[in-house]
Structure formats: structure tokens, C-alpha cells
Amino acid sequence: MLVIVELASGVRRFRELQRAIDGISQRMLTLTARRLERDGLVNRTVYPTVPAQVTYELTDRGSSLTLLVKQLADWSREHKDSIGASRALYDLQNPDQQIR
């Protein structure tokens, strides 16, 4: 989801995506980018430089999803603290349940 939000601002190289998405591992970003490419949401372009340069950009299909994804990201940010509080309360009331 965060990859789509970042690419909504334009073309990005792999390193730029990695820096923009706090805490994402190289492996997870590689896997995520491939999945988005496989779903036809992102185009991956490899430039024949040495070393090879790779850029990512949203396809039309990817762009059509951007608004929804941004709204979801906003919703998540808005409700982050209250969800955190609900989780803490739930864990207190249900110490036996491991659904972290």
C-alpha cells in the first residue's frame, strides 16, 4: 500500500522507494514491487547502465487505485492511536489469546 502511495508522487528508483518507506527490508520491497508488477499496477524499467538502473512507476490501473489507497492510508493514520488503545485493552482482557 505504501509503495503505491509513494509512486503516486512519480517515478522512483529502488533505493528511493526503500528510503521513503521507513523500515521496509530490501527483500520485502523486492517482493512487493514484483507483486505489484505482476498485478499490472506498476511498471518496472531496467536501464542498460553499469550498474543497471531500475525505476518503478504506476500504470493507469495502479493510478486508478491511488486515491483509495491514499484515503486508506489517511484513515489508518487518523485511527492509529485509538486502534493501539483498543489492542492494549483487548490484550489485557484476553491474556490467553495470541493474535498479535
Query: For binding to a copy of itself (CB under 8 A), which residues are involved?
Result: 31, 34-35, 37-40, 61, 64-65, 68, 71-72, 75, 79, 82-83, 85-87, 90-91, 94, 97, 99
Q: Which is nearer to a copy of itself, 19 or 35 (CB)?
A: 35
Using a 10 angstrom Cβ sphere, with 0-12 exposed, 13-18 middle and 19 or more buried, the burial of residue 48 is exposed
Q: Which is nearer to a copy of itself, 50 or 77 (CB)?
A: 77
For 10, list phi and psi in degrees, rounded to 5: 130, -175
For 4, list phi and psi in degrees, rounded to 5: -65, -45
DSSP state of 9: T
Q: Which is nearer to a copy of itself, 49 or 93 (CB)?
A: 93
Preceding omega of 95 cis (within 30 degrees of 0): no
Q: Which is nearer to a copy of itself, 16 or 37 (CB)?
A: 37
Least Å distance, CB 90 to a copy of itself, is 4
